[in-house]
A and B are shown apart, each in its own frame.
Chain A
């Protein structure tokens, strides 16, 4: 009985935590990857990291660049400018990430990215970064997917046949020891 009581309490706690946590983040950032291009670079008074992130918008298919101020929101009046190759790229404070500035267009492999941070008449350059090739998977993904599709299909067939069988059996009957 003690174990049952402990299990019931644990289930109630899990249910409560789930109910509390499900409400807020409905519009939060989701299933996206970000990879670091440059970490913790000392740039004047700031520490800055550069990340490449897949955007939330399905039609914008090229991952864009995020300039992260590692110590949080920079001083008011700080300006971040980004050049890709020889062209200036539009950049603005991120709506979803604190202390971050995002480019409005994506960056592609082999693009040379230069970032400059200006603050009260002074300007500092972040070391130039060349965008690396896209990540390659560490797993044999096609083989894993083939195995998974086979398992899922077999399980679906098993579910269908055994569920029908389970529903034919009256629920209160128990044949152990008969």
Chain B
């Protein structure tokens, strides 16, 4: 079935996002996720490779805007954006890819619960476990930078597996999007846009 531009225009936002827009949306989303990842890795490298004192290990954005790292806003915002993206792009996945994407969504859902709890503690002024600072559920056992680095890693791995499966050529026959379609040659792309 070939979808005409009129039919595409009649589709709702979620349908477009998981149909004709899915490919571009997916790669924009992954770019945001990679930037977030770089931020975490920058901070992790400061702590465990450069061995900077933890209060000085502010990540990349933290060098420019230190208050961002010292507040819950950046962490909560990132977790929320990641969760919304995973949720919005889920309907476009089929088969095994959907299972992996769903796994990533569920783990990120828990990560968002952790950040929302931290956010609520910061707003209310009462912290879990009687701690003087907002505390994650698992933080009594694992320090926060380690814990949230691991959270991001176990969200990232199934996400990448899902994208790899979703973009395999064999998946093209079941996808509603162009993610697994053969690449457009530069010359043809030039003609199409001319």
Contact = CB atoms under 8 A, between A and B. Distances in A.
Contacts of B40: 148
A123 interface: no
B186 A169 contact: no
B7 to A, nearest CB: 9
29 contacts: A8-B14, A11-B87, A18-B77, A21-B123, A27-B67, A27-B71, A29-B71, A30-B75, A31-B69, A31-B75, A32-B133, A34-B133, A97-B127, A97-B133, A139-B150, A141-B149, A142-B49, A144-B150, A145-B48, A148-B41, A155-B156, A155-B160, A156-B34, A165-B183, A165-B184, A170-B193, A174-B20, A174-B177, A175-B2
Interface stretch (A58-66, A76-84, A125-133): A58-66
Contact of A152 (B15, B41, B120): B41
Contacts of A70: 130
A148 B56 CA distance: 22
Contact of B77 (A22, A159, A167): A22
B181 A169 contact: yes
Given A24-B123, A27-B67, A155-B160, A137 B176 contact: no
Interface of A: 4, 7-8, 10-11, 14, 18, 21-22, 24-34, 36, 39, 49, 51, 53-58, 60-61, 66, 68, 70, 94, 97-98, 100, 135, 137-139, 141-142, 144-145, 147-149, 151-152, 155-156, 158-159, 162-163, 165-178
Contacts of A177: 1-2
Contact of B14 (A7, A149, A152): A7
A159 to B, nearest CB: 5
A170 B24 CA distance: 11
Interface string B5-27: 10010001011000111011001
B168 to A, nearest CB: 13
Residue among A26, A29, A70 having the largest count of chain B Cβ atoms under 10 Å: A29
B187 to A, nearest CB: 10
A162 B134 CA distance: 40
Nearest to A29: B133
Contacts of A151: 37, 153, 156-157, 160
Nearest to B152: A148
A129 B44 CA distance: 31
A172 B3 contact: yes
Given A32-B133, A152-B41, A159-B34, A174 B2 contact: yes
A166 B133 contact: no
Contacts of A137: 48, 142-143, 146
A25 B122 contact: yes
A29 B144 CA distance: 13
B12 to A, nearest CB: 6
Nearest to B143: A33
A94 B125 CA distance: 12
Interface string B136-149: 00010111111001
B88 to A, nearest CB: 7
A133 to B, nearest CB: 14
Contacts of A18: 77, 80
Contacts of B167: 162
A57 B157 CA distance: 34
Contact of B56 (A25, A30, A61): A61
A30 B172 contact: no
